[in-house]
Amino acid sequence: DQQVKQNSPSLSVQEGRISILNCDYTNSMFDYFLWYKKYPAEGPTFLISISSIKDKNEDGRFTVFLNKSAKHLSLHIVPSQPGDSAVYFCAASANSGGSNYKLTFGKGTLLTVNP
């Protein structure tokens, strides 16, 4: 049973436009959510996170929105740049961002930003 779902395996956008990556979860115990970016042959890189007590978190061009009632979160990248082309993983945990928590990952979405 997949607890974190990224239903779009791939997404293609034009440079300068908005990229929206979506993630759904089923486990009501999840209270901390993260997005990671991964380039080929590298480890995942932490991008941004959000606690369930918030519905939005911004960091530069990246914004994560959380809709708890829908068990849905999304990552917005504005404006998109070719260097943003990577696989994006959504992850969730049930430990409120404490020191020790196990992450459950989605399968990832490949974002391609075309010049």
Partner 1 sequence: DAGITQSPRHKVTETGTPVTLRCHQTENHRYMYWYRQDPGHGLRLIHYSYGVKDTDKGEVSDGYSVSRSKTEDFLLTLESATSSQTSVYFCAISARLAGKSSYEQYFGPGTRLTVT
Pairing mode, strands 10-14 and 109-114? parallel
Q: Which one among 11, 101, 110, 112 touches partner 1, defined by CB under 8 A?
A: 101
Percentages helix, strand, coil for the chain (3-state, rounded to 5) are 5, 50, 45
Task: Please name which of 95, 63, 88, 86 lies closest in space to residue 6, comparing C-alpha atoms.
Answer: 88
Closer to partner 1 at the Cβ: 3 or 15?
Answer: 3
> Please, which of residues 35-54 interact with partner 1 by CB under 8 A?
36, 41-46, 49, 51
103 binds partner 1 (CB under 8 A): yes
Cα–Cα dist 104/76, whole Å: 21
Report the SS3 class of residue 83.
Answer: helix
105 binds partner 1 (CB under 8 A): yes
Burial category of 57 from C-beta neighbours within 10 Å (exposed 0-12, middle 13-18, buried 19 and up):
middle
Closer to partner 1 at the Cβ: 28 or 100?
Answer: 100
Closer to partner 1 at the Cβ: 62 or 79?
Answer: 62
Closer to partner 1 at the Cβ: 67 or 96?
Answer: 96
Tell me the closest approach of the beta carbon of residue 74 to partner 1, in angstroms. 17
Judged by the rule CB under 8 A, the positions of this chain that interact with partner 1 are 4, 6, 32, 34, 36, 41-46, 49, 51, 89, 91, 96-108
